[in-house]
Structure 1
Amino acid sequence: MSSLSNTLRALAVTVISAALLTPAAPARAEPSPAELTRRIEKSSTELEHVVEAYNKLREEIKANEAAAARVQSRLGPLEQETEQSRADVGEMAVTAYKTGSNLTTAETLLRPGGADTLLDRLGMLDQLARQRQEKISNFTANQRRLLDEKTRLEVTLARQAAQVKQTTAAKKRIERDLAQLYELRRQAYGQATEKPAARPDSAKKAPAVSGRAGVAVRYAYGALGKPYVWAADGPNGYDCSGLTSAAWRAAGKSLPHNTRMQWSAVTKISRSQLQPGDLVFYSGLGHVALYVGGGQVIDAPSAGRNVLKRGMNMMSIQGYGRVR
C-alpha cells in the first residue's frame, strides 16, 4: 500500500472520529404550552397598562376640549363688553373736548348763579368724575379678563396638542405589542383571537337586581361573548374600563373610561359590602371588572379574548368601589 493511501486512510479515520466525538448541536425546542401561556399573560398585563394610559390621555383630551369650549363661549361676550367699554371711554373723551366739561373748581365757583346752583354744579361735576372713573375701570377690567381668558385658552390648546401627540405614539406601541401578543396566541392556540360567542338573550340570565345597579348588571350580561377591543366602550367591543363605564352609562351614571379615574370616582367599600353593580379593581389599577354577585365578575379580560363571567379572584385585588 502506497504512502498516499495510508495518508488518506489516516485522514478519513481522523475526520470520522472527530465527527463521532463532537457533540451534536441541540435542536431548538419549541416553547411549551405552559411557557406560551405565561408569556401571553405577561404580555396581556403589560398591554393593558399601556391601553389604560392611552384611555387616560383620551379622557384628559376630552376634559381639555370641554374647558376650551367654555373659554371660547366666554370670549365672545367679553370681547363685546371690552369693545363697548372702549367706545364709552372714547365717547366720554369726545364729549369732554366738545363741551369743555373738564372745568376746574375755581372756574365753577366764579360763575354766577347763587349757592344752590353752585352746589348743584359741584354735585354734577362729582358725579361726572365718578362716571368717568367707573368707565375707565370697567374698560381696564374687561381688557384684563379678556387677555386672561385668551391666555388660558392658548395654554389649554397647547396641552391638548401635546396630548394628541402622546396618544399617537401610544397607539403605535399598542399596535406593535398587539401584533406580538397575537403571534403568541397563534402559536399557543392556533388562532390569534377567540371567536365571538353567540349569546342571544344573555341579559335575561342576569340576576334580579333593583335600581341602577341592576341596569348596569344586565348591560354587562348583554355584553358577554363580545370581543375585547382596546380603547372601546361598546356596543360591539370593550376593554376593561370601557365595559364598566358603558354599563354604568346605561344606568345613567357617568364614569371616565380609565381604571385609575374610576378608582378615584367611586366610594371605597370593603369586600364584605360588595353588591352586584359594584366595581372590583385589581393590583396596579390596570384592570377593573363589574361584580355580579356570588363571587363572580364580568369583565373584558385582554386582547384576543371575549367578555366573560368568571371568579373575582382571578388576580390580586386592589380594592372595591361603589358608583354613587
Structure 2
Amino acid sequence: MASHRRPKRPSRTRVTVLTATAAAAVALTSQAANAAPKPTKSEVKEQVDKLYQEAERATNQYDGAKENQEKLEKEIGRLQDKVAREQDELNELRTGLGAMASEQYRSGGIDASVQLFLSADPDDYLDKASTLDSLSEQQLESLKKVQAKQRTLAQERAEAAEKLKDLADTRTELGKKKQQIQSKLSKARQLLNSLTAAERQEIADSEARASRSSAGRVDLGNEAAASKFGAAALNAAASQIGKPYFRGGTGPNSYDCSGLTQWAYAQAGVGITRTTYTQVNDGARIGMSQLKPGDLVFFNNTEHVGLYAGGGQVLHAPYPGAYVRYESMSTIGSFQFGVRVTG
C-alpha cells in the first residue's frame, strides 16, 4: 500500500543555501557571457600606438615648457645682475649726496632741502615744487639722478618678480606634463604586458625589421632637394637610421621626432628650434604637392615631425620601441603641412 504521508518540507536554511548557489551560478554565467574578449595582438598594437601619439603630444608640450624654463632662468639671471649693478650705482649717488651734506654741515649747517632729502623719499621730495628754488643746480641734478635710478631699480625688481612667478608656473606645468607622459607610457606597457611573451617579441621583431629594411629597400625617386641645407640635413638624418627613439632625445645616440630634425639641421649648419610647436615657424609653410627632400613634414595636428625624403617617404623617429627609419607618409598619420627651412 502506498504511503500517504506528506513529503518533508526542506528547511529554511537549505532553501537559503540553494537560492544563493543558484544566484551565484546565474551571476557567473552572466559575467562569462558579458566578459570582453581578450584583445588581439593587432588591437593591442593599435591602442599602444595611440597612447604613444598622446605621449608624444605631452612630450612636445613638456619640451616647450622646459625650453621656456631655461629661457626664463637666463632672463632672471640677467635681471638680477642688472638690479645688483643699479643698486651699486644708487648707493654711489647716495654717498655723493651724503658727502654734499657733510660739506654743508662743516661750512655752517645742512641746507634744509638736502636735509629733507636725506630723511625722505626723493620722489616725494621733488614733487614739492616750493623747495626746488632752494637747491643749487648741482644739488638738483644729483637728486634727479637718484630719483631716476630709484625708478629704474623699482621697475627692474618688478620685472624680475614677474619673471620668477612665470618660472614657478612653468615648473608646475612641467610637473603636470611629466605625469601625463608617464601615465600614457605606463598604460602602453600594461597593454603590451597583456600579450604573451611570444606576441611581444613578434611586435619588437617587426619594428626592428621595418627599421633595417627601410635603409636599403626604399625607393626615394630622383627628386631634387629643397636646398643645399635640406640635402645636408637629410643626409645627416639618414646616417642615424637604426638608432632608437627616446623621449627627449636630441642625439647622437637616440632621438625623439623633433630632436632628430633639430640635430639633422644643426649638422647642415642651420639652427632650428626644439619642439614641433616651434619648428612649424622655422620656415615657409608649403602643401603636400610642393614638398621636396629635406623639407620638414608635420603630422597629427603638428604633434609629429620628420624630414621629407622623396618618393612619398618620410625619414623620422617614430615612437617608443621604434627606430629612426623611412616610412610612407600614408602610414604615419594625418598630414598637416610642410615647412621649408632656407637657412
TM-score range, shorter chain: 0.7 to 0.9
List per-residue Cα deviations over 1:27-67 (Å, max 9, x = no partner).
Answer: 75221233223212321222221111111111111211121
2:339 and 2:60 map into 1 onto residues whose CA distance is 18
Give % identity: 31
List per-residue Cα deviations over 1:75-104 (Å, max 9, x = no partner).
Answer: 23212211211112222222333335999x
On the 8 A contact 1:224/1:306 being kept in 2, the answer is yes
Gaps of 5+ in 2: 9-21, 112-132
Match of residue 307, structure 1, among 324, 329, 332: 324
On the 8 A contact 2:52/2:184 being kept in 1, the answer is no
Match of residue 141, structure 1, among 136, 145, 148: 148
Change (3 A) 1:140 1:64: same
Q: CA deviation at 1:280?
A: 0.6
Change (3 A) 1:58 1:130: same
Q: Tell me the secondary structure at the aligned position of residue 321 of structure 2.
A: coil
Change (3 A) 1:147 1:137: same
Q: Tell me the secondary structure at the aligned position of residue 264 of structure 1.
A: coil
Specify the alignment match of 2:139 in structure 1.
Answer: 132
**Alignment size in residue pairs:** 290
List per-residue Cα deviations over 1:293-319 (Å, max 9, x = no partner).
Answer: 232211111122112111223321111
Please say which of residues 74-83 and 189-198 is displaced more in the overlay.
Answer: 189-198
Q: Tell me the secondary structure at the aligned position of residue 285 of structure 1.
A: coil
Specify the alignment match of 2:171 in structure 1.
Answer: 164
Specify the alignment match of 1:11 in structure 2.
Answer: none
On the 8 A contact 1:78/1:146 being kept in 2, the answer is yes
Specify the alignment match of 1:60 in structure 2.
Answer: 68
Match of residue 97, structure 2, among 89, 98, 119: 89
On the 8 A contact 1:196/1:226 being kept in 2, the answer is no
Match of residue 39, structure 2, among 31, 42, 47: 31
Q: Does 1:190 align with 2:207?
A: no
Specify the alignment match of 1:272 in structure 2.
Answer: 289
Q: Tell me the secondary structure at the aligned position of residue 288 of structure 1.
A: strand
Q: CA deviation at 1:193?
A: 5.5
1:3 and 1:95 map into 2 onto residues whose CA distance is 137
Q: CA deviation at 1:139?
A: 1.1
Q: Tell me the secondary structure at the aligned position of residue 38 of structure 1.
A: helix
On the 8 A contact 1:182/1:193 being kept in 2, the answer is no
* Counterparts of residues 235-250 of structure 1 (less than 5 Å): 235-250=252-267
RMSD between superposed Cα atoms in Å: 3.8
Q: Tell me the secondary structure at the aligned position of residue 277 of structure 1.
A: coil
Specify the alignment match of 1:316 in structure 2.
Answer: 334
Q: CA deviation at 1:284?
A: 1.5
Change (3 A) 1:321 1:186: same
On the 8 A contact 1:182/1:304 being kept in 2, the answer is no
Q: Does 1:295 align with 2:312?
A: yes
Q: CA deviation at 1:159?
A: 1.9
Specify the alignment match of 2:15 in structure 1.
Answer: none
1:147 and 1:305 map into 2 onto residues whose CA distance is 53
On the 8 A contact 2:101/2:110 being kept in 1, the answer is no
Q: CA deviation at 1:186?
A: 4.5
1:3 and 1:241 map into 2 onto residues whose CA distance is 92
Gaps of 5+ in 1: 8-17, 104-125
Please say which of residues 230-239 and 29-38 is displaced more in the overlay.
Answer: 29-38
2:176 and 2:235 map into 1 onto residues whose CA distance is 36
Q: CA deviation at 1:176?
A: 2.5
Q: Tell me the secondary structure at the aligned position of residue 265 of structure 1.
A: coil
Change (3 A) 1:164 1:2: farther
List per-residue Cα deviations over 1:10-36 (Å, max 9, x = no partner).
Answer: xxxxxxxx9xxx895347522123322
On the 8 A contact 1:228/1:239 being kept in 2, the answer is yes
2:73 and 2:3 map into 1 onto residues whose CA distance is 96
Superposition TM-score, scaled by structure 1 size: 0.75
State the one-letter code of the partner of 2:186. A
State the one-letter code of the partner of 1:222. S
Please say which of residues 63-72 and 250-259 is displaced more in the overlay.
Answer: 250-259
Superposition TM-score, scaled by structure 2 size: 0.72
2:103 and 2:280 map into 1 onto residues whose CA distance is 63
2:267 and 2:109 map into 1 onto residues whose CA distance is 68
Change (3 A) 1:3 1:299: farther
On the 8 A contact 2:229/2:268 being kept in 1, the answer is yes
On the 8 A contact 2:55/2:180 being kept in 1, the answer is no
